[in-house]
Chains A and B, each alone.
Chain A
């Protein structure tokens, strides 16, 4: 059980918590936050492989995480704006009710 394995198990746990939350909750904000958790889990993986991976000569993993954080920030901004728009439209933010695009 190397540190890499531990880190990966940690990220697995965080990812699955985020996934379960995103699947289970009906509040859109919480779904979005679950997704953020999954993103963080991915970042943890990057850092783990950067630090303990087989070929860790470069800083590419680090770079990925930085960009990922930036993208996550953008995602959060857009997602929350969408939530506000949905709320204005249907007076609540229950994800189950936002089914206007169904086939």
Chain B
């Protein structure tokens, strides 16, 4: 049993239906509806995956005309291939678990139903993004995802920091989306289509790719490179890559399930997914030796910088969610790195495993936060190991998966795949070194996080009275933990099922055991360093200085300050923006406003002149005429005395006068 491609819209439609219903009611049943819809969508996704696996090399598409545009028509479509199906399964599965977790986490919130409405809306947009066969439909869903993210980050909008974070996330990602939009328009302009696959005419099919990479721009870039880089801008914004990563840590102001679902597992992966989706376009210039830069090279270096930078900053953060957020930035950098060095299957592999263990970590953090009365500062936590056994166990599994503890955990295998791909990249080895450094750092900061949070003794009232959460929150943790272990085995070098499924032309390459040994060694070093610094002598008071700060205060301060990106942006773009706004304000007030005022005054002046003329000349003329008429009438009416005999007297006198006139005048 499978699901035909023209019915694949059902997967996003179900959560969308719940979101629509949830917009009109405050009933708590919306949550159950949302979970049910996600579960059904998960089942449908599994059916779709089953169908896709039967013909992995041929993507099933269903296109339809949206509306006519001039002579042609704008086409949208749905697509079903292993990539889409796997992503759908991941999103719906993780989504369902996070929805269930939210039942417990958001139980006390007065806007419970609204939260699930937004979550469903997000899920619908995300799934729509995955199943679209058109860059336009993808862009629409992309923006809807951004909107959902905005709504959910700002869910506690009464907190100024949350409102500001929501705004920051929205605006920062918009900057990237502008590039995506430009790329989209350029692509439509040069190829006449936005469909991915369209029976030979789609933008990802050989003819168009060849045509695009064959054209060279004035600056020496191939056309496909330029378009690809513009599209990559969208991915930079959405996936929190350097230099647009600043929004992602702030997005942790939202409720923790949101952080887990959107800012760890799914939405931020959309950028990676996008690049993987348009991979043929991105790699079209790979065989052109004359171009100054390849699109994928840029992707690789951006990814490498992001991976290293995220891992560095994560070492110095004290907020449990912020550590995880920078870890996410770093891991997304890994994925971009993998894309850039040519192994998009490794990127997707890491995306999937990361989704599970990062969702696990975030939900674990949520569990900790929930249990310890919304305490997020790791310096104030501590000692939760014994109080929250299930949470600790699952969190530890997630931590080891993220750190890449060998063999048993999924993160190890996916990271290995990336490192191997980077090793084989013949352009440069710098990304490989950045990735290896990040491996060490990842293990280090995760050890620090676990040691500070779960070991030692409780350092605040909230963590002292923490106790394990109910099953509705722990069961999803356990399920995710199992996945975080098991999922690694679908892509090991010895059985690369995932890679082979995604890419029919995949050729297993293995750089030999030396690189693997090196990375294992680095993981061990990281863990050991973390243990040596933080677990050997556990923190006793909340105010005690961080051992790293003791060792290298300047570095620590810079890292804690997130390498100064936010002040830098505030001082540069922020100030520029302020200046432009002030300029526009002055322009508006002084120039345009005074012009408008002048026109208004002029209008008033002419109006008053007109009115004066009216009153003085026209009205006055009429007034005088009527006054004269009235006076005459009054005079005549004076003659009407009502005295009958007076009239008769007048008649007689008039007769006499007339007779005299006749007689004397001699009119005879």
Contact = CB atoms under 8 A, between A and B. Distances in A.
- Give yes or no for direct A-B contact (beta carbon below 8 Å): yes
Nearest to A26: B645
Interface stretch (B48-56, B246-254, B526-534, B634-642): B634-642
Interface in A52-84: none
B646 to A, nearest CB: 9
Contacts of B644: 31, 95, 98
Interface in B610-660: 636-645, 648-649, 652
A101 interface: yes
B54 to A, nearest CB: 111
Interface string A82-103: 0000000000000110111111
A37 interface: no
A23 interface: yes
A96 B643 contact: yes
A37 to B, nearest CB: 13
B612 to A, nearest CB: 38
B630 to A, nearest CB: 13
A87 to B, nearest CB: 15
Bin chain A's interface residue count: 10 to 19
A22 B643 CA distance: 12
Contact of A98 (B638, B639, B642, B649): B642
A95 B647 CA distance: 12
A19 interface: yes
Nearest to B634: A103
A31 B640 contact: no
A99 B647 CA distance: 12
A103 B645 contact: no
Nearest to B641: A102
A99 B641 contact: yes
Nearest to A101: B642
B642 A95 contact: no
Contacts of A103: 636-642
A102 B645 contact: no
Nearest to B645: A23
Contacts of A99: 641-643
Nearest to B637: A103
A98 B647 CA distance: 13
Contact of B652 (A19, A31, A100, A101): A19
A22 to B, nearest CB: 6
B649 A102 contact: no
A26 to B, nearest CB: 8
Contacts of A31: 644-645
A102 B642 contact: yes
A10 to B, nearest CB: 19
A19 B636 CA distance: 26
B649 A23 contact: yes
Contacts of A98: 642, 644
A103 B637 CA distance: 4
A32 B441 CA distance: 134
B97 to A, nearest CB: 102
Given A19-B652, A23-B652, A95 B640 contact: no
Contacts of A95: 643-645
Contacts of A101: 640, 642
B642 A22 contact: no
Identify the interface centre among B641, B644, B652: most chain A CB within 10 Å of its CB: B644
Interface string B281-303: 00000000000000000000000
A19 B649 CA distance: 9
Contacts of A23: 645, 648-649, 652
Given A96-B645, A102-B641, 7 more contacts: A19-B652, A23-B652, A101-B640, A101-B642, A103-B636, A103-B637, A103-B638
CB-based closest 8 A-B pairs: A103-B637, A102-B642, A99-B642, A103-B640, A101-B642, A102-B641, A23-B645, A102-B640
Interface of A: 19, 22-23, 31, 95-96, 98-103
5 contacts: A23-B649, A96-B643, A98-B644, A100-B642, A103-B642
